[in-house]
Amino acid sequence: MSLLSRAKERKKNNQYVIEGLRMVSEVPADRLVKVYVSERFVNNNPDFIDSFINKKGVSDSCCELVSDNVFERMSQTQTPQGILAVVGMKEYCVKDMLSGNPLLILVENLQDPGNLGTIVRMGEGAGVTGVIMSPNTVDIYNPKTIRSTMGSIFRVPFVYASDFSQAVRECQDAGVRVYAAHLDGRNTYIGEDYSGPTGFLIGNEGNGLTGQITQQADTLIRIPMQGEVESLNAAIACTILTYEAVRQRTK
């Protein structure tokens, strides 16, 4: 329960919690710490535990049965499926994301868990090589963020950079051209070439990117708007830019 509700506890133990049958089924075996199932879940899925143990290659002690009322206290969802797991965190570094032809998402101070989770999920679909986040970005292990990733958190490399500006510079030094969506962009986003190593800067929902990081970008680009709309949801803007890069690279 502490791992679910406290980011400090997750960081201290280097572990987090996932809920639901799909998420637990997708967790890599080497990161699995413990699985908890309710009595109701076992009654409805009598063969699950044996098949799960055989599939993951884990021991019987990895799975623990708890009463329904205890599970409801453990869970944060209104209608729990009756299965959750404690998972060990996996650590990446910026260098892990720079091989080949990188396609990076650089997130500064994003605060909405759903936005970050959606970006990670979209990133897997688009084939991004990594997500780099500033220290003040919402905790990616927040239960709401994890649910929004729909399992992509297990497969997309990501890192919190203690010095975000330095991390951006490290990408640039490795040949990555960094773009920032901005009202002062010289071109619309379709007027640039993303076929080479590319990174997209995504800022805070309300305030956008900080001035320092905006100045550090190699190029400012615009997403054209009509009507009286001034900006798009951060995850949507990120998706538009990233999939333009995918389109160009596919072409």
CATH 3.40.1280.10 in the chain, residue ranges: 94-250
| Token pair listed for 143 | 């239960």
Whether 251 shows a pLDDT value over 80: the answer reads no
Rounded to whole angstroms, how far apart are CA atoms 215 and 164? 13
What is the model's pLDDT at position 101? 97
Q: What is the percentage of the chain residues whose pLDDT exceeds 90?
A: 83
The radius of gyration of the chain from alpha carbons, rounded to an integer in Å, stands at 20
All CATH 3.30.1330.30 domain ranges in the chain, comma separated: 2-88
List the structure tokens of 158: 């990501």
The tens digit of pLDDT for each residue in 226-245 reads 888 877 899 999 999 999 99
* 198, 171 Cβ separation under 8 angstroms: no
Structure tokens at 34: 């413990």
CATH superfamily of domain region 2-88: Ribosomal protein L30/S12 (3.30.1330.30)
Residue 1, helix vs strand vs coil:
coil
> Which among 88, 104, 63 has a CA at the least distance from the CA of 153?
88
The CATH topology of domain 94-250 is Alpha/beta knot (3.40.1280)
Helix and strand totals (H; E) in the chain: 11, 11
Identify the CA nearest to 133 among candidates 116, 152, 155, 150: 116
**Taking the model in full, what pTM does it have?**
0.93
